[in-house]
Chain A
Amino acid sequence: MMAQYLISVLTDTTDTATADEMAAIDVFNEQLLADGHWVFAGGLASPSTATVIDGREEDAVFTDGPYVETKEYVAGFWIIQAPHLDVALRLATLGSKHCNRRVELRPLLDG
């Protein structure tokens, strides 16, 4: 039975991935697919493109920008599936190596 994990790619610069980094990420993604660990992945537009929405009241409130201004932020993510944490750790380590960034590994709650 597989558990799902979120791997968030962390960055503190506005530099996007270099060509080498993109190539390495492609290699990593193909390995994830081949080994059955791939669920979903994507790169995120910069935090300045974000909008915070509060739809709890009758009139929705929109706020320009990320929900919190931080030096370090999430630039992209993978969602992987793995039987247990040791496998997820190994994959997250490879992901960090391939995209040349620090990553945060976090389990998804069981559906």
Chain B
Amino acid sequence: MAGEAFAIAVERWPVDSVPPSPGAWLTTTAHRKAIDRVRREARRGAKHMEALVLSDTPEPIGAIGDDRLRLVFTCCHPTLAIEARVALTLRIVGGLTVPEIARAFLVQEAAMGQRITRAKAKIKATKIPYHVPSREDLPIRVTGVLAVLYLIFNEGYLASDPRRRRSAAT
């Protein structure tokens, strides 16, 4: 399942190193999911997806791969500033707490909380859709996701630096 693949990637890429073609992996995965999209979205309404993003304590989404992939594309939307995308992805998809993300960015917790709140408000106000992008938008949208992944893995937010290491409980 695509979402499971992403979850595994988030855990394993810092250890195994990023695969040679992360873009190809993401595109292939997203294409497959895009074909299934119509059927799946009938099951998961927009309201449910909005609740997942807007709630402060996202429900565990590990078991539902399609939702996770859609959330990745939503959190990495190109109309959000790159810092907002990274923070939102770590919070919504990665499940990190605001204090953990603030520590990783070396910013104040209140500032990080505001950054995430504003990003969620923009998603709602501008009606950023909760779906895997259409075929024509996919290349540029995958680029946007890769930019976020690059920052997450290369800037050391999940690095081996013990000061920034996520708690073992996650």
Interface residues of A (CB under 8 A from B): 3, 83-86, 88-90, 107
How close is A101's CB to chain B, nearest CB, in angstroms?
Answer: 19
Given A3-B127, A84-B127, do A90 and B79 touch, yes or no (CB 8 Å)?
A: no
Q: How many contacts between A and B, using CB within 8 angstroms?
A: 24
Q: A3-B127, A107-B126 are in contact. Are A85 and B79 (CB under 8 A)?
A: yes
**Min CB gap A1→B, angstroms:** 10
Contacts of B126 in A (CB 8 A): 85, 88, 107
Interface residues of B in 33-53 (CB under 8 A from A): none
A88 partner residues in chain B, CB cutoff 8 A? 126
B contacts, CB < 8 Å to A: 77-79, 125-129, 133-134, 136-137
- How far is the CB of B4 from the nearest CB of chain A, in Å? 25
A contact patch SS: helix
- 4 tightest A-B CB contacts, nearest first: A84-B129, A84-B127, A85-B126, A85-B128
- The CA-CA distance from A46 to B137 in the complex, in Å, is 35
Q: Which residues of A contact B125 (CB under 8 A)?
A: 107
Which residue from chain A places its CB closest to the CB of B128 in the assembled complex? A85
Could you name 24 residue pairs across A and B whose Cβ atoms are closer than 8 Å?
Answer: A3-B127, A83-B129, A84-B127, A84-B128, A84-B129, A85-B77, A85-B79, A85-B126, A85-B127, A85-B128, A85-B129, A86-B128, A86-B129, A86-B133, A86-B134, A86-B137, A88-B126, A89-B78, A89-B79, A90-B136, A90-B137, A107-B125, A107-B126, A107-B127
Give the Cβ gap from B143 to chain A, nearest Cβ, in Å.
Answer: 14
Task: Please give the distance in Å from B122's CB to the nearest CB on chain A.
Answer: 9
Instruction: Report B32 CB to chain A, min CB distance, Å.
Output: 20
Give the distance to chain B from A84, nearest Cβ to Cβ, in Å: 4
Query: Nearest Cβ distance between residue A69 and chain B, in whole angstroms?
Result: 28
State in angstroms the CA–CA spacing of A90 and B140 once bound together.
12
Query: What is the bound-complex CA distance between A84 and B128, given in angstroms?
Result: 6
CB-CB nearest in chain B for A5: B126
What chain B residues lie within 8 Å of A107 (beta carbons)? 125-127
How far is the CB of A59 from the nearest CB of chain B, in Å?
A: 37
Q: In the complex the two chains form, what is the Cα distance from A40 to B95 in whole Å? A: 43
Q: How far is the CA of A85 from the CA of B136 in the complex (A)?
A: 15
Within the assembled complex, what's the spacing in Å between the Cα atoms of A89 and B129?
Answer: 12
With CB as the reference atom, state the residue of chain A lying closest to B77: A85
What residues on B are CB-neighbors of A84 within 8 Å? 127-129
Docked Cα-Cα span, A90 to B133, in Å, equals 12
B126 → A minimal CB distance (Å): 5
